[in-house]
Amino acid sequence: MSVHILAIESSCDETSAAVVDDGRKIRSNIIYTQIATHKAYGGVVPEIASREHLRKISSVVKLALEESGLAPSSLDAVAVTKGPGLIGSLLVGLSYAKAVAETLEIPLIGVHHLSGHLYGGVMSAQDMEPPLCALIASGGHSSIVYMPEHLRFEVMGETRDDAAGEVLDKIARSLGLPYPGGAALERLAEGGDPEAIDFPRAWLGPDSYDFSFSGLKSHVLNYLNRAAMKNEEVNKADVAASFQQALFEVLSKKTIRACKERGVKQLILSGGVAANGRLKSMMAEHAEAEGIRFHAPPKILCTDNAAMIGSVAYYKYLKKDFNSISLNATANMPLQNE
Ligand code: KG4
Ligand code: ZN
């Protein structure tokens, strides 16, 4: 008998609900993105995000159930993102999940958003079981994680300042691209030369797995400002390509070094930035050279979605690791063992 889990994700600006069987088979994965609403403000406005979640959550969950072909009475558990994220947004998903759990009298399972991103990789890879390493690069996080077994995580390194997606979005904005800029910057960079400008790489010492991108960000912004002040034309495609090159080189080299350090032969790239084709091919190349199996999930499982939350919840379900109805949402929480 399969385990059917209804999952809800509402940590930032996507309202999502999914039904997942046995942690891997996606019956439905509905994602309503608020990007169009926040675009006018150049970033996510927390209060607007909460109100949009409130407006959409019921129809998104109903659609996910409908598409799954399952009756609510067939569900075994309801999973929900408990944090980190925008607190008002998290509370909408959590309250809805609690109501479902109470009504159907099924267990409630709270899931960490970052373990969700990691399992977006695990669930979409054929036969990929831990031990493995993962780079989670999103709008809010850049972390290298070692996963010796299911639900066990060691954060080997993380960003000390801006997250990779955050820097991509900021530079994209200064290049005149709309929010969120990661994907638009990738398209712009396709016509540029990644070696045209030598932007700095912050390695932070030979043993560090941490990242720091604020120096790179300032350098690119200064480059653009200096040119503007002198009324000089810049080749925006070259700036985009060279900036991506500097950012991705640090992300991939450090992650591969982490795999070698832990003697791990499998690597997952996940989080919104994992949608980037250039980063994927760079990491795939480095991994292959070291005999490491590399996997990046399809785009739909890279950016925020509920299916990844349903995948983590399955492994928690097997351990009967359930939450009480008093589960709270937390805006800031480090990735810990689930
Ligand atoms: O995981 P995600 O959907 O939300 C967070 O949890 O943050 O990640 C969003 C981030 C944004 O910074 C966005 O610009 C970036 O992922 N992103 C990309 C691409 N698509 C989305 N970055 C680079 N290349 C892309 N194709
Ligand atoms: Zn995310």
pLDDT digits (tens, 9 = 90+) for 68-86: 999 999 999 999 999 999 9
pLDDT of residue 40: 84
Residue nearest to atom 1 of ligand 1 (CA): 272
Share of the chain above pLDDT 70, in %: 100
Q: DSSP letters of 252-315?
A: HHHHHHHHHHHT--EEEEESGGGG-HHHHHHHHHHHHHTT-EEE---HHHHSS-SHHHHHHHHH
CA of 303 to the centre of ligand 2 (A): 6
Cα distance between residue 118 and residue 115, in whole Å: 5
CA of 332 to the centre of ligand 2 (A): 13
pLDDT of residue 41: 87
pLDDT > 90? residue 59: yes
4-117+302-318 shares its CATH topology with 128-296: yes
pTM of the predicted model over 0.85: yes
Is the CATH code 3.10.180.10 the one for domain 4-117+302-318? Answer: no
Q: Which two tokens stand for residue 12?
A: 């930032």
pLDDT of residue 68: 98
Which pLDDT band, with edges at 50, 70 and 90, does 39 fall under?
confident
CA of 120 to the centre of ligand 1 (A): 14
pLDDT of residue 20: 98
Q: Are 238 and 196 in contact (CB under 8 A)?
A: yes
CA of 70 to the centre of ligand 1 (A): 32
For 147-171, what is each residue's pLDDT tens digit? 999 999 999 999 999 999 999 999 9
Q: Are 49 and 12 in contact (CB under 8 A)?
A: yes
Mean per-residue pLDDT, 296-325: 97
Looking from the CA of residue 163, the nearest atom of ligand 1 is 12
List ligand 1's pocket residues with C-beta within 6 A.
12, 138-140, 165, 168-169, 180-183, 186, 271-273, 275-276, 303-304
CA of 310 to the centre of ligand 2 (A): 14
Mean per-residue pLDDT, 288-309: 96
Residue nearest to atom 3 of ligand 1 (CA): 303
Structural domain boundaries of the chain?
A: 4-117+302-318, 128-296
Per CATH, the number for 128-296 is: 3.30.420.40
